[in-house]
Amino acid sequence: MAYIYSLPTSASFTGKGLVGYTFGPLSQKDVELYYVEVKKGHDVFMISKKITRTYYILSGSGYFTIGGHKYNVGPGMLIEVPPKIEYCYSGRMTLIAFSKPRWFSGNDTFTKWNADVVGQDLAYRTDGGSLLTRLVRVRLFGKSPVNAFLRLNQRIWDNLPSSLAVLSAVRLCGDFSHKVARMQVRSQAFATLFLRNRPELELIRRLLERTAKGGHLRVTVLGCSTGAEAYSVAWKIRSARPDIKLTLRAVDISKQAVEFAKCGMYSIASSQLTDTQIFEAVTPSEMEELFHRNGDTVTVKSWIKEGIEWHVGDVGEPEVIDGLGPQDIVVANNFLCHMDPPSAEMCLRNIARLVSPNGYVFVSGIDLDVRTKVARDLGWVPLEELLEEVHEGDPYLRRYWPGRYAGLEPLNKKRADWRIRYAAAFQFVPRVISSLTLCNEELGGGSERSEWVPVLSGDGNSNHPMDAN
């Protein structure tokens, strides 16, 4: 039996604003002890289901926010945080932390980002904004009148006969509600599910048809959360083209999410970190194909999981993107909508640098104005194949319009720019090639480029990166 424990030589966990070491395992099975060096703070606010956490400040200073109250802390102080209360901490300090019982998957619910760690832009903007924005965020006795308005609108919209929903005046009302919804405070979430957008996976499969036998394909999934999307993409590619050498990287800003994803182990009984039914879209036969099952736990099969590289990083930071190197396919879904539009635009422009010439980017779950602007500016060519199916393909996004900021507006072909606005997949064509496939008007009129490469045309002129290998 061990009596003396030393600090492990390498960190047991790191976050954007801290690094931690776990002692043991101790012989007391119901206790876990950590040494934590806090540089900025814990990156998310959380609510513990069962664990009581006790912190002792060895040095430095900072503050704990517990149940909405702020407590300044310094050396020699002990902080006890019981379950079921929202808390977080910020500062520059060294701590000893006790968990009783030990940490277990599913204990923590993350409620919002800590702005001290991830920055105001990512967490949310609480400062200023237009008068209308501030009005939209007003609270009366803790309740938001605008939320009530949006919920009512959503209910009306959900029950509207489709013959009425297409009328211009009705659509305008929906557009207005969604504009209001987009002014609300945004916060990140881990929500994800397996096979979330089937037409998108099918489009990826079709792109592979142009890949030479035995070729090499580089794919990166950004904002991967607990891994469902990266595993879905790996499954699609590896089952369609086992001959291809696939390098798949997946990145998320959250250390917890990446650790979870890396394990590839999920509970059927509980939604764990994500708060979504992650198997909702998976059929029983696909469950058998994707997972090994042991009671209530499933594990991603090794032929799918093998070789995926998992990274913790903020994809808004240029160094993180530079570290990944050029990619043939970049998937950036459902995290840019949680940023305010200027931050999302900056982040998407940074992500764009990842896409190799003639490579593809899949980006959904983002304000359509932001995506359209970046696509136009960078000369991305919208893929027309399966455009409408991919747009309709994510049940969550379509269901959330118009009442929630993450909702996706119904495709409207009356718009002159509908192809570029509603495409979620684009090809990055860095130079003018031959035939005209899209009219300039759709791509923003005054664009300097006058001709665009045909997309998925199979015309034999391809210089697709996947063909080259």
- 334 is an interface residue for ligand SAM by CB under 6 A: yes
Considering only 33, 191, 344, 387, the residue that binds ligand SAM (CB under 6 A) is 191
Question: In terms of CB distance, is 114 or 334 closer to ligand SAM?
Answer: 334
Segment 122-151, which members bind ligand SAM (CB under 6 A)?
A: none
- 195 is an interface residue for ligand SAM by CB under 6 A: no
- 258 is an interface residue for ligand SAM by CB under 6 A: no
| Count of residues touching ligand SAM (by CB under 6 A) | 22
Non-local (6+) Cβ contacts of 47 within 8 A are 83, 84, 85, 86, 87, 108, 109, 111
With beta carbons less than 8 A apart as the criterion, state whether 150 and 177 touch: yes
Q: Is the dihedral of CA 158, 162, 166, 170 positive or negative?
A: negative
- 275 is an interface residue for ligand SAM by CB under 6 A: no
Round to whole Å and give the CA distance between 114 and 64: 11
Question: In terms of CB distance, is 73 or 336 closer to ligand SAM?
Answer: 336
Stretch that binds ligand SAM, among 80-88, 167-175, 182-190, 352-360 (CB under 6 A): 182-190
Give least dist CB 156 to ligand SAM, A: 27
Question: In terms of CB distance, is 177 or 188 closer to ligand SAM?
Answer: 188
Segment 74-93, which members bind ligand SAM (CB under 6 A)?
A: none
Question: In terms of CB distance, is 48 or 333 closer to ligand SAM?
Answer: 333
- 108 is an interface residue for ligand SAM by CB under 6 A: no
Considering only 178, 196, 241, 371, the residue that binds ligand SAM (CB under 6 A) is 196
Question: In terms of CB distance, is 186 or 238 closer to ligand SAM?
Answer: 186
**Parallel/antiparallel/unpaired status of strands 52-66 and 78-81:** antiparallel
| Closest by CA position to 330, among listed 230, 227, 262, 244 | 230
With beta carbons less than 8 A apart as the criterion, state whether 193 and 232 touch: no
Please give the single-letter amino acid code of residue 201: L
Round to whole Å and give the CA distance between 351 and 248: 16
Give least dist CB 118 to ligand SAM, A: 8
Stretch that binds ligand SAM, among 79-87, 153-161, 191-199, 417-425 (CB under 6 A): 191-199
Residue nearest to ligand SAM (CB): 223
| Closest by CA position to 300, among listed 261, 330, 337, 327 | 261
Question: In terms of CB distance, is 229 or 345 closer to ligand SAM?
Answer: 229
Scan for tokens 């609300």, then name that residue: 184
- Determine which helix (DSSP H) or strand (DSSP E) holds 111, and give its type and residue range: strand 108-113
Question: In terms of CB distance, is 222 or 423 closer to ligand SAM?
Answer: 222
Non-local (6+) Cβ contacts of 351 within 8 A are 222, 315, 321, 330, 332, 361, 363
Give least dist CB 39 to ligand SAM, A: 18
- 46 is an interface residue for ligand SAM by CB under 6 A: no
Round to whole Å and give the CA distance between 198 and 48: 34
Considering only 153, 192, 220, 358, the residue that binds ligand SAM (CB under 6 A) is 192
**Burial class for 319, CB neighbours closer than 10 Å (0-12, 13-18, 19+):** exposed
- Whether residue 402 is preceded by a cis peptide bond, meaning omega within 30 degrees of 0, is yes
- 335 is an interface residue for ligand SAM by CB under 6 A: yes
Round to whole Å and give the CA distance between 311 and 223: 10
Considering only 22, 254, 272, 427, the residue that binds ligand SAM (CB under 6 A) is 254
| Closest by CA position to 198, among listed 236, 156, 149, 154 | 236
Round to whole Å and give the CA distance between 277 and 186: 22
Question: In terms of CB distance, is 254 or 272 closer to ligand SAM?
Answer: 254
Give least dist CB 1 to ligand SAM, A: 40
Considering only 37, 259, 314, 384, the residue that binds ligand SAM (CB under 6 A) is 314
Non-local (6+) Cβ contacts of 148 within 8 A are none
Task: Retrieve residue 217's tokens.
Answer: 């394909």
- 333 is an interface residue for ligand SAM by CB under 6 A: yes
- 109 is an interface residue for ligand SAM by CB under 6 A: no
Round to whole Å and give the CA distance between 142 and 68: 13
Give least dist CB 281 to ligand SAM, A: 11
- 354 is an interface residue for ligand SAM by CB under 6 A: no
Residue ranges in contact with ligand SAM by CB under 6 A: 188-192, 196, 222-225, 229, 251-254, 257, 314-316, 333-335
